[in-house]
Amino acid sequence: GAVVSQHPSRVICKSGTSVKIECRSLDFQATTMFWYRQFPKKSLMLMATSNEGSKATYEQGVEKDKFLINHASLTLSTLTVTSAHPEDSSFYICSARRAGGFESEQFFGPGTRLTVL
Amino acid sequence: AQTVTQSQPEMSVQEAETVTLSCTYDTSESDYYLFWYKQPPSRQMILVIRQEAYKQQNATENRFSVNFQKAAKSFSLKISDSQLGDAAMYFCAFGAGNTGKLIFGQGTTLQVKP
């Protein structure tokens, strides 16, 4: 149990376009989902926390108008990178916290590699 | 603010040997949780082991065990009988409060030599 999927696994887009990444909890309800960004051989940097039905909470330095997060249901959160530029190229990982689950434990998706040309 | 520090960017171990990865953290919280995650080349984050701060007993999961020293704010991971499949990047993480947020260390890349 506790499987999280992400789609797509990799995406290449042109500069100036928008890209949407989906994060789904497949076999549990996720009260909270998290979005991270990871550069090669670096740690995970938390971008934002999203709770179902409410606005996402962004970490300091993360542009909320550029990285739009929607948490429409207890099993789906989406991250939209708007007007993407080459510097947005990165590995994006989502995770989900299970309702009633172990405090602070997160289940991670397999990640999405975004390349902006 | 909480911080997590992994001071070993890279470690190597011979297959079947034992290796210890270090992690220290800083917090003023009294109730918190600590985790070790493994990230293999596939980049899928996998939970290795977790420890509740209120438990004095060190957590163990098969070949993986921790040395949790609460007063010293230290949380090291010991991997016994290392296997080639253990090669990965390992992250120490700290969680506290009702937000569920995790703070990750910088990571340690573990190489296992045959």
**pLDDT tens-place string over residues B13-38:** 999 999 999 999 999 988 899 999 99
Rounded to a whole number, what is the distance in Å from the CA of B81 to chain A's nearest CA?
25
Beta carbons of A34 and B101 less than 8 Å apart: yes
- The residue assigned the tokens 């108008």 is A65
Q: Closest Cα to residue B75, out of B39, B38, B34, B47? A: B34
Average pLDDT, chain A: 92
* CA separation for the pair B93, A37 (Å, rounded): 16
Binned at pLDDT 50, 70 and 90, residue A72 comes out as confident
| B107 interface with A at CB cutoff 8 Å | yes
Please give the angle made by the CA atoms of B26, B28 and B33, to the nearest 5 degrees. 70
Q: Closest Cα to residue A23, out of A89, A101, A98, A79? A: A79
Average pLDDT over residues B88-99: 90
* CA separation for the pair B45, A112 (Å, rounded): 13
| B109 interface with A at CB cutoff 8 Å | yes
> End-to-end CA distance of chain B, in Å?
41
Structure tokens at A24: 């789904």
* CA separation for the pair A79, A92 (Å, rounded): 9
Out of A38, A106, A110, closest to residue B102 by CB: A106
Query: Which ranges constitute the DSSP H helices of chain B?
Result: none
| A34 interface with B at CB cutoff 8 Å | yes
Out of A34, A103, A111, closest to residue B43 by CB: A111
- Give yes or no for a contact between A19 and A80, defined as CB atoms under 8 angstroms apart: yes
